[in-house]
Chains A and B, each alone.
Chain A
Amino acid sequence: MNRIGLLNKLWEFQNKFGYISENAIAQIAQKLSVSKIEIEGVVSFYHFFHRQPTGKYLIYLNNSIVSEFKGFQQIKAAFEKETGCTFGSYDENPLFSLFETSCIGLSDQEPAALINFYPFTHLTPEKVKTIIQQLKNGNSLSFISSNPTSKIQYIPADNKTIFFRKYEMGIALKKLKNHTPNEILNLISVANLEGRGGAFFPTAKKWKSCKQSDSVKKYIICNADEGEPGTFKDKSLLNNLPGLIIEGMIVAAYITGATNGFIYLRAEYSYLLEKIENTLREFQTNNLLGNDILGIPKFNFNIQIQVGAGAYVCGEELALIESLEGKRGEPRIKKYFPTEYGYLGYSTIVNNVETFAMASRIIELGTNFISTIGTKESKGTKVLSISGDVAKPGIYEIEWGMTVKEILHLCQATSPYFVQISGPSGICINNTEFDRKICKEDLICGGSIMVFNNFRSITKILENYTQFFKEESCGICTPCRAGNQILHEKIKKIKKGICTAQDLEEIKEWGKIMKLTSRCGLGHFSANTLVMALDKFEGYFNQKIIKANENLNVEFDMEAAVYNYDSLIKDTQ
């Protein structure tokens, strides 16, 4: 066993024993010749690894904001009532252990939970009762679990659809035979493909850099660690078109000369594992993976799947690489691009699921076709996951340039008020901005739109986001680790109703400091929505703030401050 296999080894223990014991850690540490604390550090970084015994059924209930608005609290109470366990505690129940988890990619079917990584969607207290009863009766999980497939609600006209059109294995790859790697790279470059994970870095530039690297080995990594709350578009691609993604990776390998690839699949999507593995096997049988692919001499490429273990920050490419290497998923300092110094120090390409799928379609459909679709800067279509207060949540493939209003109309949003674009680390917009277009020229979108109507509490939304970042920060740099905690204190103040205009000003200033000083994107953007919302929903916050007593200038709630004392005295009398 070596270090890069650490995550898999830990999964073995976790799956077999329900937790990773002191003994297991000692064993692994000895094998790897590292100190126990180092293994402990890795284990404790990922929230699906446990250090104490758990029950036979591990229940992870999603606590993202969409879930919260769809009845999270009742479902949580129902689970506790039916199982007799408490969320987040190791109460030695032999059957059940309950935990909250951040978004599991089922925002269109909330409230949702994973039980031993089998999905259960559209939960109601009654449904929970039935499920727990069935499990107690020993019914098999695969039998009673829900179908997690997200409904594809909309695709453009046939001549404008790119992703969700007919697919046959090898549809893009067969074109490789007649073109040199340079020609293929040129196609990607002409089509102006940009990273669809949300950073929109020019793909051709990244691939070219890897191609030109003289690294002895090269790696292609597909980032399927879609952790941004409210996002499930990659899941739909992995579920419907796994082959298309794999072809994209093979195209990248053809261009760069990489010999090995990884799909870093988030553990929340474990139920897709079998499907992807089967597809990989089919590719191998058809000589589309392995050695001398397509009969092209020395074109060798293999793909492995690595299952993550629950860490949002691993969606950051440098953190993902660290995680693949069997370490804590902490972003490296941005000294080198992964194409210069990536996985194990070799030149590495990390791209999002959708980027690879798009690359395949570019090769298959040709750049002429693609160039007729979309706007000047954003070519083609975009897969969006839409959730929240809409009648038709699910997957939408839209042509770049569609307005927010059109989208809201399509998904039948009911009195939309607060719309979150690209998840909590993206931006929020108000109803004056609904004419904005989803494209690079105007409103760029990584793939998620969450719609909230005017009955929803903005404070609740923002608190949920901040809580999420507070827990999911990797903890390596001060501004992100401490900053999100500090901002949470401010939000608590808003909730308590003792927030002044001064407090809101401070939130803005502090957000700026976090943005300026954080180490990676998580810290750069975690205060974004909060700061933005203060301006965009000024009316709402003006009602929230109170004019402090002029003389004192600060608002203080003395009653709340003596509450503990009063109740203690009452209890001990």
Chain B
Amino acid sequence: MKNCSFKIDGRVCTAEKGLNLIEAAKQNGVFIPTLCHFKHLYPLGTCRVCTIKLNGKSAAGCTVHVADGMDIEVNTPELLDTRKAILEMMFVEGNHFCPSCEKSGDCPMQNLGYETGIKYTRFPHLFIDRITDARPKRIVVNQNRCIKCRRCIEEVKTFDGYKVFYSVNKGNKTMVSIDYEQEAKLSELQAAHAMQICPTGSILVKGKSFSKPFGDRLFDAVNEEKMLPVNGLKKHRTTAKKKIVATTSLAGCFGCHMSMLDVDLGILDLFEVIEFNKSPLTDIKNFTKHCDIGLVEGGCCNTHNIEVLREFRKNCDILVSVGECAIWGGLPAMRNTFPLEECLKESYLDSMTSEENETIIPNHEDIPKILNKVYANHEIVKIDHHIPGCPPDANHIWNVVKHILFQEEYSIMHPKYKYD
């Protein structure tokens, strides 16, 4: 085959003529992220993560075949942001609760989230109720996680050539469904292959989803950085005034606070330059001073959360959402796909232990009211920074804080991003 020469971001590249751009770019050391493209499959062009510009016009990279003279843009700021936006769309369209996902750590979509540096999504989460179908023989299909890339539709077939997966419905109701009859014909190996090519945790094989332990997974951070005390603080000791920090946990699990404490003795160094005001760490209940920075763990699930958050906004110059729950609702937001009525009835009136007409849904003027759904903090007040993670690790949190308080350069490396 003939080689051809084309340009990627102004650099001259060569590859076999007619080769798929994703592969051609890879050969030339340029990585174009994609979720639907899969080796030999006829280009699907469904996920659109690989959007590039070809001679000034946008196109899905996986549908482009290189030819002489092509001028391709891949990593312009606009395209990088667009790619991130498409991924964010996927995160808000489905219900991606990474911390409770079997695929976490082995999930290309999650990894792309890290790669593109998603800290929070610019879009509102849709929280649509979707089904998890465990009726098939070997496979469980979790529609919450499906991004409709169609790899499985094209790739997974029975020995006699029947498709196992196919798209049904259209518009916002589109989903990838499974044919029970054909699925039952799949061999163990074929089923495992289906799980493997799924770029999210949507297709799982029963009994196999945890066969690889966390920590050994493809995208797990390899060498865990040693827990170092927060260094370099001493030089700030001369700063005239100690910086004042407040923290709180709203609808969270206190895990982020636990994580903050993981700096161990480093906290003593911290105390030399900062002072805590309202915080569970000090047990100061009410603000006594105006603070430089407020760290908020957890999202808002009741009126009290909102009041506290608003108070934080008033009393802190800079407000930081720490952890997934604060950023978009996290695990508590799992209830967002159900009407509040159903949730409360299930917990208080129709639960196994409740006796008919004996229990009520808690309500009293002294207890906060439950909101119709769990809200992300930035939906309630302006949030200045987001620290993703479940939980974010201690060094990460304190480095960000240090950066904000003392304007110190700190670049976050991608292994620091962890949604699980």
1/0 contact trace for A495-511 toward B, CB 8 Å?
A: 00000000000100010
B90 interfacial by beta-carbon distance below 8 Å: yes
Interface-side segment among A12-20, A153-161, A206-214, A557-565: A557-565
1/0 contact trace for B165-190 toward A, CB 8 Å?
A: 11111111110011101100000000
A147 interfacial by beta-carbon distance below 8 Å: no
CB closest chain-B residue, reference A47: B170
For B181, list chain A residues within 8 Å (CB): 35-36
Q: A37-B182, A516-B51, A562-B371 are contacts. A481–B382 as well, Cβ < 8 Å?
A: no
CB closest chain-B residue, reference A518: B48
B339 interfacial by beta-carbon distance below 8 Å: yes
Is A476 a contact of B46 with CB atoms below 8 Å?
Answer: yes
1/0 contact trace for A465-488 toward B, CB 8 Å?
A: 000001111111111011111100
Is B124 a contact of A553 with CB atoms below 8 Å?
Answer: no
In whole angstroms, how far apart are the Cα atoms of A552 and B164 in the complex?
51
CB closest chain-A residue, reference B162: A35
Shortest distance from the beta carbon of A510 to any chain B beta carbon, whole Å: 7
A569 interfacial by beta-carbon distance below 8 Å: yes
Shortest distance from the beta carbon of A73 to any chain B beta carbon, whole Å: 22
In whole angstroms, how far apart are the Cα atoms of A192 and B212 in the complex?
64
Is B382 a contact of A552 with CB atoms below 8 Å?
Answer: yes
A543 interfacial by beta-carbon distance below 8 Å: no
Query: CB within 8 Å of A: which of B57-102?
Result: 58, 60, 63, 82, 85-86, 89-90, 92-93
Is B82 a contact of A44 with CB atoms below 8 Å?
Answer: no
Is B169 a contact of A486 with CB atoms below 8 Å?
Answer: no
Shortest distance from the beta carbon of B92 to any chain A beta carbon, whole Å: 7
Query: CB within 8 Å of A: which of B179-227?
Result: 179, 181-182
Q: Which of A40, A489, A556, A573 contacts B306 (CB 8 A)?
A: A556
Shortest distance from the beta carbon of A47 to any chain B beta carbon, whole Å: 8
Q: Which of B60, B126, B167, B341 contacts A519 (CB 8 A)?
A: B60
Shortest distance from the beta carbon of B164 to any chain A beta carbon, whole Å: 7
A365 interfacial by beta-carbon distance below 8 Å: no
Is B361 a contact of A482 with CB atoms below 8 Å?
Answer: no
A41 interfacial by beta-carbon distance below 8 Å: yes
Q: A35-B182, A485-B126 are contacts. A561–B48 as well, Cβ < 8 Å?
A: no
In whole angstroms, how far apart are the Cα atoms of A569 and B340 in the complex?
11
For B303, list chain A residues within 8 Å (CB): 558, 562
Q: Which of A34, A486, A517, A564 contacts B372 (CB 8 A)?
A: A564
Shortest distance from the beta carbon of A571 to any chain B beta carbon, whole Å: 9
B310 interfacial by beta-carbon distance below 8 Å: yes
Interface-side segment among B233-241, B252-260, B329-337, B373-381: B373-381
B369 interfacial by beta-carbon distance below 8 Å: yes
For B122, list chain A residues within 8 Å (CB): 506, 510
Is A479 a contact of B48 with CB atoms below 8 Å?
Answer: yes
Interface residues of B, dominant DSSP: mixed
A554 interfacial by beta-carbon distance below 8 Å: yes
Shortest distance from the beta carbon of B106 to any chain A beta carbon, whole Å: 21
A298 interfacial by beta-carbon distance below 8 Å: no
For A568, list chain B residues within 8 Å (CB): 340-341, 344, 361
For A313, list chain B residues within 8 Å (CB): 170
B123 interfacial by beta-carbon distance below 8 Å: yes
Is B60 a contact of A473 with CB atoms below 8 Å?
Answer: no
Query: CB within 8 Å of A: which of B346-399?
Result: 349, 360-361, 363, 369-373, 375, 378-382
Is A481 a contact of B171 with CB atoms below 8 Å?
Answer: yes
Q: Which of A471, A481, A565, A569 contacts B371 (CB 8 A)?
A: A565
Q: A486-B124, A561-B371 are contacts. A37–B178 as well, Cβ < 8 Å?
A: yes
Shortest distance from the beta carbon of A311 to any chain B beta carbon, whole Å: 7
Is A485 a contact of B63 with CB atoms below 8 Å?
Answer: no
For B48, list chain A residues within 8 Å (CB): 477-479, 517-519
A328 interfacial by beta-carbon distance below 8 Å: yes
Shortest distance from the beta carbon of B351 to any chain A beta carbon, whole Å: 14
A115 interfacial by beta-carbon distance below 8 Å: no
For A490, list chain B residues within 8 Å (CB): 124
Is A554 a contact of B382 with CB atoms below 8 Å?
Answer: yes
Query: CB within 8 Å of A: which of B22-80?
Result: 43-49, 51, 58, 60, 63
Is B349 a contact of A572 with CB atoms below 8 Å?
Answer: yes
Is A478 a contact of B90 with CB atoms below 8 Å?
Answer: yes
For A92, list chain B residues within 8 Å (CB): none
Q: A481-B93, A519-B45 are contacts. A37–B165 as well, Cβ < 8 Å?
A: yes
CB closest chain-A residue, reference B378: A554
1/0 contact trace for A138-156 toward B, CB 8 Å?
A: 0000000000000000000
CB closest chain-B residue, reference A556: B380
Q: A552-B310, A565-B369 are contacts. A37–B179 as well, Cβ < 8 Å?
A: yes
Shortest distance from the beta carbon of A153 to any chain B beta carbon, whole Å: 34
In whole angstroms, how far apart are the Cα atoms of A473 and B148 in the complex?
13
In whole angstroms, how far apart are the Cα atoms of A333 and B63 in the complex?
7
A551 interfacial by beta-carbon distance below 8 Å: yes
For B314, list chain A residues within 8 Å (CB): 551
CB closest chain-B residue, reference A569: B363
Is A510 a contact of B63 with CB atoms below 8 Å?
Answer: no
For B178, list chain A residues within 8 Å (CB): 37
CB closest chain-A residue, reference B164: A35
In whole angstroms, how far apart are the Cα atoms of A40 and B170 in the complex?
12
Is A473 a contact of B171 with CB atoms below 8 Å?
Answer: yes
Is B349 a contact of A38 with CB atoms below 8 Å?
Answer: no
Is B148 a contact of A35 with CB atoms below 8 Å?
Answer: no
Shortest distance from the beta carbon of B359 to any chain A beta carbon, whole Å: 10
B163 interfacial by beta-carbon distance below 8 Å: yes
For B63, list chain A residues within 8 Å (CB): 333-335
Shortest distance from the beta carbon of B328 to any chain A beta carbon, whole Å: 14
A45 interfacial by beta-carbon distance below 8 Å: yes
13 CB < 8 A contacts A-B: A36-B179, A44-B169, A475-B172, A482-B92, A482-B126, A483-B89, A486-B92, A517-B58, A554-B380, A554-B382, A556-B380, A564-B341, A572-B361
* Cβ-closest 6 pairs across A and B: A475-B174, A553-B382, A37-B179, A482-B93, A482-B89, A41-B166
Q: A486-B126, A556-B306 are in contact. List 17 more A-B contacts (CB 8 A).
A: A35-B158, A36-B181, A37-B178, A38-B166, A44-B170, A45-B167, A335-B43, A471-B170, A472-B171, A476-B167, A476-B174, A477-B46, A478-B47, A556-B375, A562-B372, A564-B372, A568-B361
